[in-house]
């Protein structure tokens, strides 16, 4: 086993432990943010035509200010921080920010277009303690809509497969390319060929709502979800996506502003990238009361929302409120064509611990012991 593989394996197990702890904390308490997106620079080196999250002139957010924002989020009890942009690799001291996230015991995630990755930068991210990278690839060949193509990024993906000690997930946006709906599937297959994981999002409009998908796009999305087998992945079991690809609304309660925070470059808290301007309170003034109030606020944009990370976060509260019903609804035993569906391992463990179908001898003892091991007792 090479040194990189060994370090990767050790880090994977430790990360899994910390992820399990994050889930246990989310199920235990409703009054801390599970996930925060933090913009480190609004500037991007690309200009995808569907994107409204970038400019080509902003300066990076000052490092001291970012470190302060990480500390404030840690004080609120945040368990995952995703550094985003614009293009976060344009920030000259990104590694210092990642290190602070890890020092505060928080899972560190990075969203990038990957253009600026080099072997040296990957190794610096390893050393900083990055937990997970999500790299977006939109098409096979660059086109007028997006330059984030497999053709340009394939070398970067090979470097990641060889050198990254963090988890790498290739994200393709179904519907981003109208001319080549099969591209998203080609990208997901390449990710799996390289031993990386893949996820798929659905292109959304400026308010975060679904744009109608063609039948070809629908087929591509379903096939990618079938490919995305993972012990801990919720992607394959994404009930919101299943409805949305068919143009059907979802019924769920969005807890953005409470369980999910989006911190813009000016340090204001927003619901999500698509609903900026609400509540737009400075992070340094944000309190537990704000978290609790915004978690309860009903948002009119929920039925056709495509912001899957916020939906996954809301899942924890659904499970906490009514574990058995939520798990049965979200992870039905049979798929749409009647096929047997097995939920991800993490969900099965949660089911056994928090919503057992029958009383298990010593169940309370094991639940208590699990919470102790995860240090959430
Ligand atoms: S790379 Fe990302 S941030 Fe930059 S323009 Fe494209 S979608 Fe927007
Ligand atoms: S439902 Fe929530 S996550 Fe979705 S767009 Fe609205 S505020 Fe954002």
299 lines ligand 2 (CB under 6 A): yes
pLDDT, residue 231, reads 45
Burial class from Cβ neighbours inside 10 Å (0-12, 13-18, 19+) for residue 237 reads buried
Residue located nearest, by CA, to atom 3 of ligand 1: 86
- Among candidate residues 39, 76, 42, the one with its CA nearest the CA of residue 57: 42
Question: Which atom of ligand 1 is nearest the CA belonging to 146?
Answer: 6
pLDDT, residue 335, reads 56
Q: How many CB atoms lie within 10 A of CB 294?
A: 23
In whole angstroms, give the CA distance from residue 163 to residue 370.
33
Low-confidence ranges of the chain (pLDDT < 50): 231-236
pLDDT, residue 209, reads 64
Choose one of 201, 301, 314 to mutate for the ligand 2 pocket test, by most ligand atoms within 8 angstroms of C-beta. 301
201 lines ligand 1 (CB under 6 A): no
* Distance from the alpha carbon of residue 306 to the mean position of ligand 2, in angstroms: 8
pLDDT, residue 37, reads 98
| Sign of the CA dihedral running 14, 112, 102, 367 | negative
pLDDT, residue 284, reads 98
Strand-strand pairing, 268-270 and 260-263:
antiparallel
Per-domain residue ranges for the chain?
A: 3-322
* Distance from the alpha carbon of residue 105 to the mean position of ligand 1, in angstroms: 29
* Distance from the alpha carbon of residue 235 to the mean position of ligand 1, in angstroms: 22
* Distance from the alpha carbon of residue 208 to the mean position of ligand 2, in angstroms: 7
Domain at 3-322, CATH from 3.20.20.70, 3.10.20.600, 3.50.50.60, 3.30.1600.10: 3.20.20.70
88 lines ligand 1 (CB under 6 A): no
């Amino acid at each position: 086993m090479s040194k990189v593989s060994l370090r990767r394996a050790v880090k994977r197990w430790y990360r899994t432990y910390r992820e399990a702890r994050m889930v246990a904390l989310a199920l235990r308490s409703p009054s801390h943010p599970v996930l925060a997106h933090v913009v480190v620079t609004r500037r991007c080196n690309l200009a995808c035509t569907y994107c409204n999250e970038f400019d080509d002139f902003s300066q990076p957010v000052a490092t001291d200010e970012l470190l302060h924002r990480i500390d404030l989020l840690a004080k609120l009890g945040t368990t995952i921080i995703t550094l985003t942009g614009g293009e976060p690799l344009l920030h000259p001291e990104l590694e210092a920010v990642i290190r602070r996230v890890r020092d505060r015991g928080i899972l560190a995630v990075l969203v990038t277009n990957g253009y600026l990755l080099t072997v040296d930068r990957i190794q610096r991210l390893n050393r900083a303690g990055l937990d997970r990278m999500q790299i977006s690839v939109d098409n096979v060949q660059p086109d007028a809509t997006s330059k984030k193509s497999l053709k340009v990024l394939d070398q970067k993906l090979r470097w990641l497969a060889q050198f990254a000690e963090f988890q790498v997930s290739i994200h393709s946006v179904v519907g981003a390319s109208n001319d080549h709906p099969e591209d998203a599937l080609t990208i997901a297959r390449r990710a799996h060929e390289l031993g990386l994981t893949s996820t798929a999002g659905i292109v959304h409009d400026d308010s975060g709502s679904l744009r109608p998908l063609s039948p070809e796009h629908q087929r591509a999305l379903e096939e990618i979800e079938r490919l995305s087998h993972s012990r801990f992945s919720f992607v394959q079991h994404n009930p919101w996506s299943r409805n949305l690809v068919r143009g059907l609304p979802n019924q769920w309660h969005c807890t953005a502003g409470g369980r999910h925070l989006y911190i813009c470059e000016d340090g204001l808290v927003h619901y999500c990238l698509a609903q900026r301007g609400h509540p737009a309170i400075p992070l340094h003034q944000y309190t537990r009361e704000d978290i609790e109030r915004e978690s309860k606020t009903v948002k009119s944009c929920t039925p056709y929302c495509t912001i899957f990370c916020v939906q996954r976060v809301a899942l924890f509260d659904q499970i906490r409120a009514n574990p058995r019903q939520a798990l049965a609804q979200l992870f039905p035993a049979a798929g749409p064509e009647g096929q047997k569906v097995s939920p991800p391992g993490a969900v099965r463990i949660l089911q056994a611990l928090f919503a057992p179908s029958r009383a298990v001898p010593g169940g309370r003892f094991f639940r208590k012991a699990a919470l102790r091991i995860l240090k959430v007792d």
